[in-house]
Structure 1
Amino acid sequence: MTIGSGIHVPVMLNEVLDHLNLKKDGTYVDCTFGKGGHSRAILKELKKEEHLKELGIKEVDGFLLDLGLSSNQLAEEQRGFSYRLSSPLDMRISQEIRLTAEDIINNYSYERLADIFYHFGEERKARVIARKICHRRQKEKITNSEQLVGIVASCFSHKTNKHPARKVFQALRIFINNELENLTKSLEIALKYLAIDGRIIVISYHSLEDRIVKQIFKKRALSNNFQIITKKPLIPTPKELSENHRSRSAKMRVIVRKV
């Protein structure tokens, strides 16, 4: 994650290094390199970096998946990830993806919008919000995040500490970028490549991601080939929370291959 100075602050760095069980000659893969905060710390310990496909590596001693967006990504106005900025409704992590949030908001049916908000954002007012979006777009095209935030906010009568549009924006981002399916595929690949005594560490930031990680780890642990290290997910320390508020929703789970 990134804080105001633009310096990247990797979430739960000490916990990651403690649980990777680093070996001097080991092979480690940061599947969500991003700004590379965790990778730099690992490479400082190991003095090397390797890539599975390029070097034909068949086993990996540790995988890290940090599933959070950095503040720099959220602050890119042309992406439209942030509900605190006025920006185009895009929300594509990669430009190779054709579907945008604007396409969805202006063209999807009421039923499909409600399903997206409910299943990918766990938004209890999904139907109310979807209905209001459909009503508004009959009058004008919804093209920016400020318009969408205004529509969503108007569906809530009471103010809370959390932004009213956060779940809708989360749902759109997850749906557009196929994040849950990609997470499942990434974990299956990591489990396949993991060496004996190797570890997979996943840091998630909302319940949908954490649920997938928990279920996949639990299923693998039933085979006795894997062991879950974190019976309950690890969370940031009070000190880290005070220094990096974006870590507040982070949960870390770890699994090790035994056989």
Structure 2
Amino acid sequence: MSSNHHQSVMFNESIDALDLIEHGIYIDATFGRGGHSQGILDRLGDQAQLIAFDQDLSAIEYAKDKFNDPRLTLIHSPFSQMHTAIEALGLSGKINGILMDLGVSSPQLDNADRGFSFQTEGPLDMRMNQTTGLSAAQWLAQANEEEIANVIYQFGDEKKSRHIASRIKKFQLEQSLETTLQLANLVSEVVRGQKKKHPATRTFQAIRIFINQELKQLTETLEHSKDVLSNNGRLSIISFHSIEDRIVKRFIQKNSRQKPLPKGLPVANQALEKMPFKDLGKQFASKDEVKHNKRSRSAILRVAVKN
């Protein structure tokens, strides 16, 4: 059963962090079902612009059907192509803020046909953009045991990655691995479940990240944000697992911390290098939000402003 409901995590906090200008130009890099986009539009004036990206065609089709706002521009593209699209619009260096809500959305998880959920039976797809690339099933069929183990360990922090990979390849000697529950059951034979976490959580996360090249896209987009944002433009980024958050954290730290001056040189005799960003810190979801939306448990919001 599919659903179009998506409860945006840290909704007010992430939009507040943009410090919206009434007639500014903003980007929602992960449109989803438009929760954050609508929240931004509600706070902007008539002359403002919002450019929304999503590589999931169903999200774009939903937006075209449900959103009728001349201030909104929709782009069917991964956010890693943001700089190219913004340059084509003549808006490089003019964007006042970028909001990114990383990971998979509730409608994607709820639709069994998308293959993201380990709790419902569906084709083992996992592609954010189903119009291109290999599905998870296709990749698992052609990858060798070492490749699979490396992906599950690198992108899922799964300690039993090699045992899982071995189990997958043994299963494939007898039949094709085609569905989500087939994979979830294989992993469950190897990994012991935890009270609040399904045994297949890390494996599904890892394969999804790899199939969609999520970390590569995130890294590239953060670098391009230097050219996309205007002076005083803001980054507001919500991540849901430590691997994503580590990339965001390191990017902000690298681009906001002054390098130490050479020993013996008076500060007054050397101008400090101007760093691209200023780190405005991080926030976690409130206890009340965590109580009502368990997805917010692991959410971290990091904010930076361009100097």
Residue type matched to 2:49 in 1?
E
Q: Deviations over 1:13-44 (max 9, x none)?
A: 22123211111121111111111111111111
Structure 2 Cα separation of the partners of residues 55 and 158 of structure 1: 49
Give the share of equivalent positions with the same residue, in percent.
40
Correspondence for 1:237 among 286, 292, 297: 286
Deviation, structure 1 residue 5: 8.2
Name which of structure 1's ranges 189-198 and 209-218 shifts more when overlaid on structure 2: 189-198
- Cross-structure match for 2:239: 204
Name which of structure 1's ranges 216-225 and 130-139 shifts more when overlaid on structure 2: 216-225
Residue type matched to 1:49 in 2?
Q
Which structure has the greater CA radius of gyration? 2
Q: Does residue 226 of structure 1 match 2:277?
A: yes
Name which of structure 1's ranges 85-94 and 47-56 shifts more when overlaid on structure 2: 47-56
Q: Does residue 140 of structure 1 match 2:175?
A: yes
The normalised TM-score by structure 1 is 0.92
Q: Deviations over 1:179-228 (max 9, x none)?
A: 11111111122221211211101101111111111111111113533110
Q: SS of 1:201's equivalent?
A: strand
When the two chains are superposed, the root-mean-square deviation of aligned CA atoms in Å is 1.8
Deviation, structure 1 residue 160: 3.5
Whether the 8 Å CA contact 1:97–1:177 is kept in 2: the answer is no
Q: SS of 2:128's equivalent?
A: coil
Q: SS of 2:97's equivalent?
A: strand
Task: Provide structure 2 residue ranges, at least 5 long, that are not aligned to the other structure.
Answer: 52-85, 258-273
Q: Does residue 49 of structure 1 match 2:83?
A: no
Task: Provide structure 1 residue ranges, at least 5 long, that are not aligned to the other structure.
Answer: none
Q: Does residue 248 of structure 1 match 2:305?
A: no
The normalised TM-score by structure 2 is 0.78
- Cross-structure match for 1:151: 186
Structure 2 Cα separation of the partners of residues 169 and 124 of structure 1: 14
Q: Describe how 1:30-41 pairs up with structure 2 within 5 A.
A: 30-41=28-39
Structure 1 Cα separation of the partners of residues 191 and 241 of structure 2: 22
Structure 1 Cα separation of the partners of residues 192 and 101 of structure 2: 35
Q: SS of 1:188's equivalent?
A: helix
Segments ≥4 residues shifted beyond 6 Å: none
